[in-house]
Amino acid sequence: MKNEVVAADTETKDEYAGLARKEIQRFIQRSTRFEPENVSFSSDNCLDVTFEVRVRHVLQMGTNHSTYTGIVEANPGDYVVQSAGEYDATVTSLISEAVNNPNILANLAPQIVQEGYGAYRDQKKVGHYSKRVIRTYTCARCYGDGEYNCTYCNGTRKQSCSWCYGTGYQTRTITTYDSNGHAQTGHRREACMYCDTTGRMTCNTCRGRGKLTCGDCGGHGRFTNVAEAEYFLKPDYKVVSINVDDADVTYALTVRADLPTVVNSVATLLHRDVVRDEPRRCVTEQATFSTKVYKSDVTVSSETSKMVVYGNKCAIADAGTLVEQLVTPDLEALELTLLSFSIFNIKKMFGLAGAGRSFMQSEVHQQAVEHAPASFHVAADLAPLSDKLAKALQPEYLLRALLSLKQMKSAIKSTWLLLFLAITSVVLLWKGLGSNQAVDVTDLMVNGVVMVGMAWLISAMMSWCHIRWIGGKRLAKLK
């Protein structure tokens, strides 16, 4: 099947190169705080690139098991079974039958064509087999009746009277007064007006029915297991050919580009085919795109490196080592401040915070912190993050930077905690020694525990505010 033939982008190379230079200038400005006028370009080159993406939509099977209360009516063609063993065996047979259904791929191919390129990014349910396996069985609690004897009255419909406690009579206290006004108290036995001296009354739990509706099956007395075979498509995107033999172009399109979304922001769709592949049980999609790639040697403040821009929206594919060279002085200043840091020196703590704030002003550092993995131990753990940042920062640099930020956070937290613990100790000492009365050791210990807890809470709040001031929400999330 053929679909979607779109004219190639007619933008000239010079126009694209101009747009790419502006994007590089903006990238360097927000990443390193250098102004655009400090950026110069040389040895630039703009390439027209055509590449082909193959998407294999692999058909996969799954089973959906559902349990319903009551009886589910079977449709024509459904398999109705009785025992649990027969149910499991029939489900296995149903899956085999659904896998070999000759119509499923024929129906899916037009659906993929209609929904367009990139409609399937992750595994997605696309339908279910027309037949089901159904098994109905009796509720184990009510044995199929939908109700059972009331557990309070045991099915007798009566319970002991709660007013006379089953005696049939109530004792009433009577107070009388003699001629001198003195009170005299007596008791009189009267027939219970609620049970009419029988000592029993209608059961409040079952309302006199003697039965309770089964809560397991909802009064239906039956359960029904229903198994359905479901179809899923799992797409696999891959660049299979590029008309330019260039490592930078290959990296931009295979690593940096998000292939399911290239039609929106990276490239222009030229041609698209969707065919069935019965032997592999998949639908294969072939899409051809055109785009532009711009390469240039970029110089900023005597530092030079190659940078690569790709796509209709001039995305940065590779920033080389330029950005890292430009922001390294900020990291070195932070590391130097950490070396001279003293945990008992409040002035140095604020100096450390200032160095950290300068470091976090570069957007590339903010992104590194925001996308940092939960745990990392060596530079190799940060290689995916380096690609995410268009290789603006190498894994070795990222490891140094993130470890330094962790040290900074720990130093700030420790300083605030020690500060408030020291204040707490002075207050407790003054309270214990400054009083002329005997010191109650128990009260002093209780007060000490409360004040230490308050000191820890206040220090945590101050640390949190301080770290937020340095790097906003990003640094606060760094573990």
pLDDT given for residue 164 in this prediction: 86
pLDDT given for residue 167 in this prediction: 84
- pLDDT band of residue 273 (cuts 50, 70, 90) is very high
Give the C-alpha separation, 240 to 287, whole Å.
Answer: 10
Alpha helices in 208-362 (DSSP H): 247-251, 262-265, 322-339, 346-360
At residue 409, the 3 state secondary structure works out as helix
Residue 9 lies in a domain: yes
Q: Cα separations (Å) of 143 from 131, 146, 205, 351, 425?
A: 29, 8, 21, 76, 70
Same domain, 419 and 304: no
Of the candidates 121, 129, 202, the residue with the CA atom closest to the CA atom of residue 161: 202
Range of the domain at 177: 147-213
Domain boundary at 289, 319, 349, which? 319
Is residue 328 over pLDDT 90? yes
Residue 11 lies in a domain: yes
- pLDDT band of residue 277 (cuts 50, 70, 90) is confident
What secondary structure does DSSP assign to 117-169, as a single string? TTS--S-EEEEEEEEEEEEEEE-TTTTTSSEEE-TTTTTSSEEE-TTTTTSSE
pLDDT given for residue 431 in this prediction: 67
Give the C-alpha separation, 294 to 463, whole Å.
Answer: 45
Same domain, 314 and 363: no
At 123, give phi and psi (nearest 5°). -60, 135
Is residue 178 over pLDDT 80? no
Q: Please report, to the nearest 10 degrees, the dihedral formed by the alpha carbons of residues 381, 383, 385, 386 taken in order.
A: 150
- pLDDT band of residue 166 (cuts 50, 70, 90) is confident
Is residue 5 over pLDDT 60? no
- pLDDT band of residue 434 (cuts 50, 70, 90) is low
Is residue 78 over pLDDT 50? yes
Bridge partners of 228, per DSSP, are: 64, 132
pLDDT digits (tens, 9 = 90+) for 216-226: 898 899 999 99
Task: Answer yes or no: are the C-beta atoms of 119 and 4 closer than 8 Å.
Answer: no
Same domain, 337 and 398: yes
Mean pLDDT value of segment 352-361: 90
Domain boundary at 319, 338, 372, which? 319
pLDDT given for residue 10 in this prediction: 41
pLDDT given for residue 185 in this prediction: 77
pLDDT given for residue 11 in this prediction: 55
Highest mean pLDDT, choosing among 186-190, 293-297, 421-425: 293-297
Residue that the structure tokens 């640099």 belong to: 397
Strand pairing category for 124-138 and 2-3: unpaired
Stretch among 104-118, 128-142, 186-200, 437-451 having the lowest mean pLDDT: 437-451
Is residue 251 over pLDDT 90? yes
Residue 72 lies in a domain: no
Stretch among 67-76, 123-132, 431-440, 456-465 having the lowest mean pLDDT: 431-440
Strand pairing category for 282-300 and 268-277: antiparallel
Average pLDDT across the chain, whole number: 86
Highest mean pLDDT, choosing among 176-185, 434-443, 448-457: 448-457
Stretch among 3-7, 187-191, 461-465, 466-470 having the lowest mean pLDDT: 3-7
pLDDT digits (tens, 9 = 90+) for 7-42: 334 458 889 999 999 999 999 988 887 887 889 999
- pLDDT band of residue 4 (cuts 50, 70, 90) is very low
Same domain, 402 and 450: yes
Residue 223 lies in a domain: no
Same domain, 331 and 424: yes
Give the C-alpha separation, 416 to 406, whole Å.
Answer: 16
Stretch among 57-66, 317-326, 453-462 having the lowest mean pLDDT: 453-462
Residue 392 DSSP one-character state: S
pLDDT given for residue 229 in this prediction: 92
Same domain, 450 and 408: yes
Mean pLDDT value of segment 365-371: 91
pLDDT given for residue 2 in this prediction: 41
State the DSSP H helix or E strand holding residue 172, giving kind and residue range, or none if neither.
Answer: strand 169-177
Number of domains in the chain: 3
Same domain, 329 and 466: yes
pLDDT digits (tens, 9 = 90+) for 371-380: 998 888 899 9
Give the C-alpha separation, 342 to 77, whole Å.
Answer: 79
Residue 286 lies in a domain: yes
Same domain, 339 and 311: no
Residue 279 lies in a domain: yes
Task: Answer yes or no: are the C-beta atoms of 199 and 164 closer than 8 Å.
Answer: yes
pLDDT given for residue 57 in this prediction: 92
Mean pLDDT value of segment 141-160: 88
Residue 33 lies in a domain: yes
Domain boundary at 162, 179, 213, which? 213
Task: Answer yes or no: are the C-beta atoms of 350 and 56 closer than 8 Å.
Answer: no
At 461, give phi and psi (nearest 5°). -65, -45
Give the C-alpha separation, 221 to 147, whole Å.
Answer: 8
- This prediction has a pTM of 0.69
Report the 10 Å Cβ neighbour count for 318: 21
Task: Answer yes or no: are the C-beta atoms of 92 and 191 closer than 8 Å.
Answer: no
Percentage, residues of the chain above pLDDT 90: 41
pLDDT given for residue 8 in this prediction: 37
Task: Answer yes or no: are the C-beta atoms of 333 and 277 closer than 8 Å.
Answer: no
Residue that the structure tokens 């089964």 belong to: 214
Strand pairing category for 282-300 and 2-3: unpaired
Give the C-alpha separation, 272 to 53, whole Å.
Answer: 10
Give the C-alpha separation, 222 to 204, whole Å.
Answer: 27
Residue 113 lies in a domain: no
- pLDDT band of residue 430 (cuts 50, 70, 90) is confident
Same domain, 314 and 332: no
97-103's contacts with Cβ under 8 Å and 24+ in sequence apart are: 97/129, 97/131, 97/229, 98/61, 98/129, 98/131, 98/229, 98/231, 99/61, 99/281, 101/129
Q: Residues for the chain: how many in total?
A: 479
Residue 75 DSSP one-character state: P
Same domain, 310 and 340: no
At residue 473, the 3 state secondary structure works out as helix
Same domain, 305 and 338: no
Same domain, 314 and 335: no
